[in-house]
Amino acid sequence: MDLWIDAEADEAPRIPLSRRRVLRAAVAIADRDGLDALTMRRVAQELGVEAMSLYHHVANKEAVLDGVVEVILGEIFQAVEQAGSPAPGDDWRGALRTRILTAREVFLRHRWAPQVLTSRTTTSTAVVAYYDGVVGILRAGGFSFDLAHRALHVLGSRALGFAQELFDPGAAATEDSAAMAEQMAEHFPNLAGMLAAHDDPDGTLGFCDDRFEFEFALDLILDGLDRRRTGS
């Protein structure tokens, strides 16, 4: 009997709990089952531990969410580092564009992350550090501090690589279509026209190419900032 118990203990040697392990488990759960599944009890279960044990390593659930933000920004910094320093010929536009699109990749891996980021009431140090880098790029490109400041406001969350869309024309059209299209045409003639004008062979699939739309918006903003910078 003692042997059997020892064997089991060997099979699953207890790795000590730590803040880091708690946060990584939290991210794993959100990735797998969504943000609603991210509960203290579920994190504990993932770690083979009782829920109350978590409180020795994090103050409370809010602290877990703050920590999750740190993890996500850690991934962004890592991705930025891997992408390497900007090509020598790169102006501020190219450098900022690349950084933002690199950061965006991380949010594509963690679709729930924007919601967590925007729910935080205090700005985490990691986010501050990221924005410091953005301002650094702008300054190197000849921006005044004032214009750099405004640039942060214009970019908003897009500086980190995501934008919140409140309305997805593609989604509206995926509902089963015939009667729906008529309703649309009657009540929302402009949107109906927009959908009709887009002659996608599949009907509506791929109407919104996320990457294309994101880059279009980003470039429009970078254009605008450059104009403000040069005063043209």
Partner DNA sequence: ACCTGAACACCGTTCAAGT
Question: Given candidates 18, 60, 123, 174, which one binds a second copy under the rule CB under 8 A?
Answer: 123
User: Closest CB to DNA among 50 and 81?
Assistant: 50
The verdict on 150 binding a second copy (CB under 8 A) reads yes
* Span near a second copy by CB under 8 A; candidates 21-29, 60-68, 84-92, 136-144: 136-144
Report the partner that residue 61 touches, choosing among a second copy, DNA, none (CB closer than 5 to 8 A by kind): DNA
Give the CA distances from residue 144 to residues 28, 129, 209, in Å, rounded to whole numbers and listed in that order. 41, 19, 34
The verdict on 181 binding a second copy (CB under 8 A) reads no
Question: Given candidates 71, 154, 181, 185, which one binds a second copy under the rule CB under 8 A?
Answer: 154
The verdict on 213 binding DNA (CB under 7 A) reads no
Question: Given candidates 39, 40, 133, 185, which one binds a second copy under the rule CB under 8 A?
Answer: 133
User: Closest CB to DNA among 6 and 200?
Assistant: 6
The verdict on 208 binding a second copy (CB under 8 A) reads yes
Question: Mapped to the 3 state alphabet, what secondary structure does the chain carry?
Answer: CHHHHHHHHHHCCCCCCCHHHHHHHHHHHHHHHCHHHCCHHHHHHHCCCCHHHHHHCCCCHHHHHHHHHHHHHHHHHHHHHHHCCCCCCCCHHHHHHHHHHHHHHHHHHCCCHHHHHHHCCCCCHHHHHHHHHHHHHHHHCCCCHHHHHHHHHHHHHHHHCCCCCCCCHHHHHHCCHHHHHHHHHHHCHHHHHHHHHCCECCECCCCCCHHHHHHHHHHHHHHHHHHHHHCC
Name the minimum Å distance from CB 185 to a second copy.
Answer: 11
The verdict on 59 binding a second copy (CB under 8 A) reads no
Report the partner that residue 106 touches, choosing among a second copy, DNA, none (CB closer than 5 to 8 A by kind): none
Q: What are phi and psi of 2, to 5 degrees?
A: -60, -40
Binding residues (CB under 8 A) for a second copy: these are 115, 117-119, 122-123, 127-129, 131-133, 135-136, 139, 144-146, 148-150, 152-154, 156-157, 159-160, 163-169, 171-172, 187-191, 193-194, 196-198, 208, 213-214, 216-217, 220-221, 223-225, 227-228
